[in-house]
């Protein structure tokens, strides 16, 4: 199959996610998987509506984190008979528009061999200045430790080819740190990373409760430093490049 599956991790999603999914259905997708990551029972009706919209809803009995939710979706696809081109991970709280998803989807026709990152535009006037600053700090820290410059290491809008799902489902990280670990492991495996500009970065109600740790540079620093110590400085190919400079 040449189409992709959208994977949406969701904790206490607003009802607007149903309309968002309806609009996504208009795109040439292989399907939509929503992971209910231990949401409160009062959100059950929202997940029932998503099932009625032909979404596959996978449920965690308790909140396990965004990283675990993404891996649950990957493991489901790997065990199913579906053979999609890959997956696109999308936020459940209005962080991404249908146009953003369509932009990444279109990019898969060109960059199908690697992971595509939907790079957000942080110039929007309604986006908190501190959040803009934190995002920039996180990118600088990533470049400092991993020696790879990426503009938006925490974007949740990503395309991942099917052939990479097996090892990605085993990458460490159950929460926000999974997004960073995914990129580090991809670099070590020489998996291409492509950056595609999308719309303005947006913060929506409920999204902060789910992703509050994502924007904290001290936690990103801790994650990168632990990886630096555990793995031995940096990937060999990156170390050799640095020595030649």
Q: What's the CATH number where 39 sits?
A: 3.90.550.10
pLDDT exceeds 90 at position 1: no
pLDDT classification of 207: cutoffs 50, 70, 90: very low
Determine phi and psi for 18, rounding to 5 degrees. -65, -45
Q: How many CA atoms lie within 13 A of 225 on its CB side?
A: 6
Query: 176-203: per-residue pLDDT in tens?
Result: 789 999 999 999 999 999 999 987 555 4
Q: Are strands 4-10 and 29-37 parallel, antiparallel or unpaired?
A: parallel
User: Is residue 104 a contact partner of residue 7, using CB atoms and an 8 Å limit?
Assistant: no
- CA distances to 124, 155, 167, 206, 216 from 129, rounded to whole Å, are 10, 17, 36, 19, 14
Range of the domain at 96: 4-244
DSSP state of 13: -
CA distance 242 to 245: 5
Q: Which residues of 202-241 are buried (b: 16+ CB within 10 A; e: fewer)?
A: bbeebbeebbeebbebebbbebbeebeeeeeebbeeeeee
Query: 115-142: per-residue pLDDT in tens?
Result: 999 997 766 556 566 666 677 787 788 8
Number of domains, the chain = 1
pLDDT exceeds 90 at position 235: no
pLDDT exceeds 50 at position 211: no
By CB neighbour count within 10 A (0-12 exposed, 13-18 middle, 19+ buried), where does 98 fall? middle
pLDDT exceeds 90 at position 82: no
**Residue 137 has what pLDDT?**
81
Q: Residue 107, SS3?
A: helix
**Residue 126 has what pLDDT?**
60
CA distance 66 to 207: 12
CA distance 150 to 147: 10
DSSP state of 170: T
**Residue 164 has what pLDDT?**
97
User: What does pTM read for this prediction?
Assistant: 0.81
Q: Residue 22: CB partners within 8 Å, gap ≥ 6?
A: 53
How many residues are present in the chain? 245
């Amino acid at each position: 199959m040449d189409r992709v599956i959208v994977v949406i991790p969701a904790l206490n999603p607003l009802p607007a996610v149903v309309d968002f999914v309806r609009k996504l259905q208009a795109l040439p997708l292989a399907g939509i998987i929503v992971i209910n990551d231990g949401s409160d029972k009062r959100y059950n009706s929202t997940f029932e509506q998503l099932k009625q919209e032909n979404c596959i809803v996978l449920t965690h009995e308790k909140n396990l984190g965004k990283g675990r939710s993404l891996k649950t979706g990957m493991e489901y696809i790997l065990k199913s008979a579906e053979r999609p081109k890959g997956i696109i991970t999308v936020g459940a709280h209005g962080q991404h528009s249908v146009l953003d998803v369509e932009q990444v989807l279109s990019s898969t026709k060109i960059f199908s061999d690697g992971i595509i990152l939907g790079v957000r535009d942080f110039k929007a006037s309604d986006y908190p200045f501190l959040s803009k600053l934190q995002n920039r700090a996180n990118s600088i820290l990533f470049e400092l430790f991993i020696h790879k410059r990426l503009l938006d290491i925490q974007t949740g809008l990503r395309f991942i080819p099917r052939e990479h799902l097996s090892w990605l489902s085993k990458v460490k990280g159950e929460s926000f740190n999974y997004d960073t670990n995914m990129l580090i492991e991809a670099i070590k495996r020489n998996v291409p990373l492509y950056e595609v500009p999308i719309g303005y970065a947006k913060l929506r109600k409920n999204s902060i409760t789910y992703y509050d740790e994502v924007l904290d540079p001290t936690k990103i620093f801790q994650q990168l430093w632990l990886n630096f110590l555990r793995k031995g400085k940096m990937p060999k190919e990156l170390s050799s490049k640095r020595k030649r400079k």
